[in-house]
Structure formats: structure tokens, C-alpha cells
Amino acid sequence: MVAVMTVLFAGKAGGQVQGLPFGSMEKVEGYAVSNVYLMGIFAWYYNNTNNLWKGFMTSTYYAESSLTNKLQMDTIITRGLSNVLNALLTSTNQSVRKDKGIQIYVDSIMSSGEDFSQASFNTPAHIFITPTNISGVYTVPDLSWFSIKICDRIPIYIPGLRWARLETGLKNNPDPFEVNDRRLSPENDVLHSDGFMYLYTSVIANSSKADGDYWLKLSLLSKTFQSFDGDGRLIPETPMRVKPTKEEDSMVVTVSGGDSGRGYYLQQSPDQRNWVNCSPMTFVSPLTHIMMPQGDIQSFVYQTTNTMMFFRTAATNTVPY
């Protein structure tokens, strides 16, 4: 019998983005567990005919909404491993090397609808499980030690996600040492725009601690623009500063501040009642810089003969270019 035993964990996700399921390791793990509904295992046996490992058997388990903690997942998988070993030890296939046991790799996959993302739990490496040998009789060993691990990167599902930017820095230093962008096009590229973004588990768990090493800021653009801190809490928008300066027959307008990646229009008005865009183009607030914590200054020059002109910025939900 030659088949592959596959364990899949698929997740159920949706809803509005209010607070995100990251922060402490317990919070991240709880989110991942609650989104598991299908489980299985990759398993191989040793073929003594050609001295190669070959696929052995398949088993799956639909968890639906019954899982509340990782111990339940470990219990289910342990039961499955016991069934696999029993099948191996009772096999009549002469090419099966029973004393070698099985080689396994457990994987967990979260999903949104029909799309699948990367794993949320797995065994970091292939594990060998050998049977207990008592006087030439092979039996299933104690498997109570087995436990899957949460992955280095955890998939977070954001409904309608079009763009995400993760800024990571060291505590007490406002300048990020790493910036990662993810752009998606749900309307035009469904295959690669499943709404998932991926966060490094150790970093997001560390940044939630008061004595942690990191800070992080996650900015998202789905229906609206939102930013979150290391505990998944919504951050109020950073105001954009506008400073107009009259120079003969032109007006020089400098803008600074705002949230990194946020799109804006520059608008003008002679009376602060009727506002029009200065140009059809948008501009994007840049990354903060260690020498300019509120962002690099950008300047716009407009010809004007009016003695009085007012300027402001208007936010727009434009994907950063």
C-alpha cells in the first residue's frame, strides 16, 4: 500500500478589522487554534527493497469549531500517529522495515473560503518514531511527548486586504530597522490576493511585552486605512502638518507627518468653505526618519494671485505606489 498521509489545518476567518489577533504568544496561538478545522499527517515507512522512505497511509480529522486549545490538537494527532504505527506493525508487505518505524511531518494550514495560506502549526523538522521492541514483538510506543509547534510566521487574515506595511524597530529607537510591504489586488489577482498577511511570531509576541526588545506598527489598507501596535490595538491616525509660505506670485506648501504609506490630496480654498484639489495626483506620507520623526518634508509650489489662500490635506484610501 503506497499513499501519503496528510494533515491539514484550515482556518475560518472574516469580519471587520477592529483589533488584530497578535500580541502575546498566548493570543497568537489562541487565534491559530480557533481557526483549525482539518487535520492530518505526512508519514513515510522505510522500504527495505530499495532502501528508500515511501509514503504510507492517509488520515484526516475535521475539527470544525470544536477546538479551543492546542492540547486538543496534540491529542488528536497523537491518536492518529498511534493508528499509523498500528497499521505499519500489522502490515503484511514484505518490503516494510518495521523496526525503522515511521518518519512524520505534521503541517497545519489556515484558509479563507477556497484559498489556502501558509501553515500555522507544524513540526519544525521530520520526526522519526520507532516502535517499542519487547522480545521481538513490536508495539506502539508512548506518544504523550508529541506536541506540534506554532510556525515562525503566522498567517493573519484581513478581509479585502489591498496593502499592508509592517514597520519593526528596537524599543526606545523611533527609526524602524525593517520595513515589509505587501500589495494585493483582490479584484484582478485572486490567486495571489487571498487576504492573508504573515507576521513573524517571535517578533510580534516580543513587541507586546513591556520589557520586550521590539516595537512594531502594522498599517493596513482594506476598505479603510488603519494602523495597529504590537498588541493588535488600533492606533489613532498621525496628523499631517501643512505649512504654506507666500513667495511673490507663488505659494510654497510644505507637508510633513502623517502615517507611513497613507495617501493624501493637497487641497486649497480661498474661504475655507469651498475646497478643491490642487492637482489630481496624490502623495504618500513617507517612512519616518531618525532625523525627522514626523516624516520627510515634501514641498509643492502653486502659482497664485490671490492675497489669501488656505491649504489642507485630505486623506484618500489609495494603495501606495
The pTM score is: 0.72
> How many angstroms separate the CA atoms of 294 and 258, rounded?
7
* Residue 126, pLDDT score: 92
The DSSP output letter for 303 is E
Q: What per-residue confidence (pLDDT) applies to 207? A: 83
The span from the CA of 234 to the CA of 231, in Å, is 9
Instruction: Decide: helix, strand or coil at residue 212.
Output: coil
Domains and CATH numbers, the chain: 25-154 (no CATH), 156-235 (no CATH), 240-316 (2.60.40)
| DSSP H helices in the chain | 25-34, 70-89, 201-207
Distances 194 to 18, 82, 159, 164, 227 between C-alpha atoms, Å = 19, 35, 9, 13, 20
- pLDDT at 88 (0 to 100): 92
The SS3 call for residue 244 is: strand
Q: Spell out, as residue ranges, where the chain has pLDDT lower than 70.
A: 1-18, 62-65, 111-118, 184-194, 210-211, 248-249, 279-283, 285-307, 321
Q: What is the pLDDT of residue 18?
A: 59
